[in-house]
Structure 1
Amino acid sequence: MSEGLVLSNVTIKLAGTEIVAVNRRIGPGEVLTVMGPSGSGKSTLLSYLVGTLPRAFEGAGGIELNGRKLNGLPTNRRRIGILFQDDLLFPHLSVAGNLGFGVPPGPRKDRRQTIEAALDEVGLTGFGPRDPATLSGGQKARVALMRTLLARPEALLLDEPFSRLDADRRTRTRDLVFSITRARALPVLLVTHDAEDAAAAGGEPFLLGG
Structure 2
Amino acid sequence: MLTLDQLFLQQDDFTLEAHLSLAPGSRTAVIGPSGAGKSTLLSAIAGFLAPTRGRILWQGADLSPVPPGARPLSILFQDQNLFPHLTLAQNIGLGISPSLRLTAADRQRIAQALERTGLAGLEARKPAQLSGGQQSRVALARALLRARPILLLDEPFAALGPALKAEMLALVAELADEQGTTLLMVSHDPQDARVLTPQAVLVAEGRVAPPVPTGPLLDNPPPALAAYLG
Normalising by structure 2, we get a TM-score of 0.81
1:119-198 alignment, distance < 5 Å: 119-198=114-193
Show the counterpart of 2:66. 73
Identity %: 38
> 1:138 and 1:67 mapped to 2: Cα distance?
37
Report the Cα distance in structure 2 between the residues aligned to 1:153 and 1:15, rounded to whole angstroms. 32
Taking structure 1 as reference, are residues 91 and 166 closer, same or farther at Cα in structure 2, changes over 3 Å only? same
Counterpart contact for 1:43–1:159, Cα < 8 Å:
yes
Contact kept in structure 2, 1:91 and 1:133, CA below 8 Å: yes
Structure 2 counterpart of 1:203, from 172, 189, 198: 198
RMSD (Å) for aligned C-alpha atoms? 1.9
Q: Which residue of 2 aligns with 1:8?
A: 5
Query: Deviation string for 1:141-164 (max 9, x for gaps)?
Result: 011011123223221111011111
Task: Name the CA shift for 1:52/1:202 in 2 (closer, same or farther; >3 Å).
Answer: closer
Judge conservation of contact 1:29–1:183 (CA < 8 Å) in 2: no
**Quick one: distance in 2 between partners of 1:201 and 1:41?**
21
Unaligned runs of 5+ in 1: none
Distance 2:199 2:110 in 1: 36
Sort the Cα spacing of 1:150 and 1:169 in 2 relative to 1 into closer, same or farther, 3 A: same
Cα distance in 2 between the residues matched to 1:162 and 1:94: 21
Q: Relative to 1, partners in 2 of residues 1:17 and 1:120: Cα closer, same or farther, differing over 3 Å? A: closer
Pairwise mapping of residues 102-117 of structure 1 onto structure 2 (< 5 A)? Answer: 102-104=95-97, 108-117=103-112
One-letter identity of the residue aligned with 2:24: P
Q: CA offsets, 1:155-201, max 9 Å, x none?
A: 11110111111111110011111210121011111111110111012
2:88 is equivalent to residue 95 of structure 1:
yes
1:82 aligned residue: 75
SS in 2 for 1:72: coil
SS of the residue corresponding to residue 93 of structure 1 reads coil
The residue identity in structure 2 corresponding to 1:162 is F
Alpha-carbon distance between aligned partners in 1 of 2:5 and 2:144, rounded to the nearest angstrom: 25
